[in-house]
Amino acid sequence: MKKIVVLTGAGISAESGIRTFRGSDGLWEEHRIEDIATFEAWQRNPGLVLDFYNQRRKQLFEVKPNAAHLALVELEKNFDVHIITQNVDDLHERAGSGQVLHLHGELKKVRSTVDDNLIHTLDGWELKLGDLCARGSQLRPHIVWFGEAVPMIEPAAALASEADIFIVIGTSLNVYPAAGLIHFAKPGIPVYLIDPQAEMPARISNLSVLREAAGTGVPRLVKQLMH
């Protein structure tokens, strides 16, 4: 079975009602990254950081996977599909995708501040100051903040290097190391980019760009690949 590796970003969840980060309506237009998404921000004002992620988590219970998430599940009938997502939502899993690797963490999970391996799934949406791990330390969102290591990048790069087809959906390719994954793909394999504002990444030889929303572009590409 041919292996398809799919790299997704915030754009695939936009039509489910989850805001992207950059662009005029992006979350980083309203919040400063250094106030919310760094370890220093957490040390300075954990309440503010918790509130930001609590609001995002709360919204997750109100949204559903869209046609793009669902189309990727369909692909599994004919291909060995691996999704590498920068998203912290769980919409790929809820759509039914079987192999999903989260590069930047998961909103529904929280972890210890003294032991990175102590990870729990939160009941409900709210993580509060005073919620402690088994070792008695404050729990934090299970999110990779700016400046932190990306522990899943190695398995992600290994997957990328094994791809027979590579698909990139709804990411500005602004954040590294995620944005560099495309360069681990074997030279010459078909690469598809689906994003209404796609910019052409350099040095990709067999690239097809679909400048359209994921909700229509992904089902169209899936149909094409299935035939």
Site residues (vs ligand OAD, CB under 6 A): 9-11, 14-15, 20-23, 26, 37, 86, 104, 144, 170-172, 174-175, 195-197, 213-214
- Among residues 69, 92, 102, 104, which one is catalytic? 104
Q: Which has the closest alpha carbon to 168: 155, 150, 156? A: 156
Judged by beta carbon, residue 164 or residue 219, the one nearer ligand OAD is: 219
Alpha-carbon distances of 22 from 54, 69, 163, 220, rounded to whole Å: 20, 21, 28, 26
**Cβ 136 to ligand OAD shortest distance, Å:** 27
Q: At a CB cut-off of 8 Å and minimum separation 6, what does 105 contact?
A: 88, 141, 142, 143, 144
Select 85 or 113, whichever has its Cβ closest to ligand OAD: 85
Measured N-to-C along each axis, helices 67-75 and 214-226 cross at an angle, to the nearest 10 degrees, of 20
Give the pair of three-digit tokens for residue 78. Answer: 């004919």
Between 190 and 215, CB nearer to ligand OAD: 215
Question: In the complex, what is the shortest distance from the CB of residue 178 to ligand OAD, in angstroms, rounded to a whole number?
Answer: 7
- Report how far apart, in Å, the C-alpha atoms of 212 and of each of 8, 121, 134, 204, 221 are: 15, 35, 46, 20, 11
Min separation Cβ 207 and ligand OAD, Å: 16
Tell the smallest beta-carbon distance from residue 153 to ligand OAD (Å). 12
Q: What is the DSSP letter of 178?
A: G
- In the annotation, is 104 catalytic? yes
Looking only at Cα atoms, what is the longest distance across the chain?
55
Cβ closest to ligand OAD, residue 25 vs residue 132: 25
Q: Compute the residue count for the chain.
A: 227
Output the residue with the shortest Cβ distance to ligand OAD: 11
Catalytic residues: 104
